[in-house]
């Protein structure tokens, strides 16, 4: 049985991608498959921040070009695998998530809490970015900045009564087992 990945994007991101109309889903899908993406400019370069709805696990890309946006599904999956590997998530757990993907759907964002978390991460980024180095490296292509992603996924988050780190929540979900039919994997109240 395969999974669908739902990438919820902001209007600004849709405009940059040339998408005129976004579908909205009313059915709450399994949260491991629900992601948000927001495109912003930093130092006049396009950047995309992906964030998982349930775990707040994040992937930051710098220097994305307009032509790359046509392949956002491939860019997302490649960056997800690379970031998870750099966070020492076991290969089997990563492949369990990625191998069963049947479709990649771009839809309208529907969760202001996650949009707020993405904006918080964008506010933290200037402290992590060495723009001289990043600009030089960006000339060679899209950057998946492992060090920055490592730091972003270790920012304490307070999405419920207990605080957590996004990387720990993602590892817990992937390593301890993810069953899309279990109710506790559908809630956003960790």
pLDDT tens figures, 69-94: 999 999 999 999 999 999 999 999 89
Q: Could you tell me where the beta strands, DSSP code E, fall in 10-163?
A: 34-42, 45-52, 58-62, 101-108, 143-144
Total domains, the chain: 1
- Cβ atoms within 10 Å, residue 77: 15
**Using one digit for the tens of pLDDT, what is the confidence trace for 28-42?**
555 788 899 999 998
Q: What pLDDT was estimated at residue 140?
A: 62
Is residue 190 in some structural domain?
Answer: no
The pTM score is: 0.84
In a domain, 169, yes or no: yes
Residue 183 lies in a domain: no
66 domain-assigned: yes
Q: Which two tokens stand for residue 115?
A: 């949009």
Sequence-distant (6+) residues with CB within 8 A of 92 are none
- Single out the residue of 182, 31, 189 nearest to residue 97, CA to CA: 31
Residue 58 to residue 43: CA distance in whole angstroms: 20
Position 96 scores a pLDDT of 84
The tokens 């579908």 sit on which residue?
23
Domain membership of residue 186 (yes or no) is: no
Query: Does residue 123 sit within a domain?
Result: yes
> The dihedral of CA 56, 67, 77, 10: what is its sign?
positive
The answer as to whether 181 is a domain residue is no
Whether 171 maps to a domain, the answer reads yes
| Structural contact between residues 116 and 14, judged by C-beta atoms closer than 8 angstroms | no
Is 174 in contact with 93 (CB distance < 8 Å)?
yes
Cα separations (Å) of 183 from 27, 29, 179, 180?
Answer: 14, 11, 9, 8
* Mean pLDDT (whole number) for 18-36: 78
Q: Where are the alpha helices (DSSP H) in 67-128?
A: 72-86, 91-98, 112-128
Task: Domain of residue 40: give its range.
Answer: 3-176
Helices (H) and strands (E) in the chain, counts: 7, 6
Higher pLDDT, 37 or 27: 37
């Amino acid at each position: 049985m395969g999974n669908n990945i739902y990438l919820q994007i902001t209007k600004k991101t849709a405009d940059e991608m040339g998408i005129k109309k976004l579908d909205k889903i009313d059915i709450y899908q399994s949260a491991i498959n629900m992601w948000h993406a927001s495109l912003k400019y930093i130092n006049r370069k396009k950047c995309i921040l992906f964030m998982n709805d349930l775990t707040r696990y994040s992937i930051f890309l710098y220097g994305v070009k307009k032509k790359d946006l046509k392949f956002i599904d491939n860019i997302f999956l490649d960056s997800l695998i690379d970031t998870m590997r750099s966070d020492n998530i076991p290969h089997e757990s990563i492949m369990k998530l990625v191998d069963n993907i049947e479709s990649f759907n771009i839809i309208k964002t529907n969760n202001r809490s996650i949009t707020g978390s993405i904006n918080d991460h964008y506010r933290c980024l200037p402290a992590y970015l060495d723009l001289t180095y990043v600009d030089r490296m960006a000339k060679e292509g899209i950057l998946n900045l492992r060090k920055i992603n490592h730091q972003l996924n270790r920012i304490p988050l307070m999405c419920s009564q207990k605080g957590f780190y996004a990387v720990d929540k993602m590892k817990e979900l992937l390593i301890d087992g993810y069953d899309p039919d279990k109710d506790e994997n559908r809630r956003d109240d960790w």
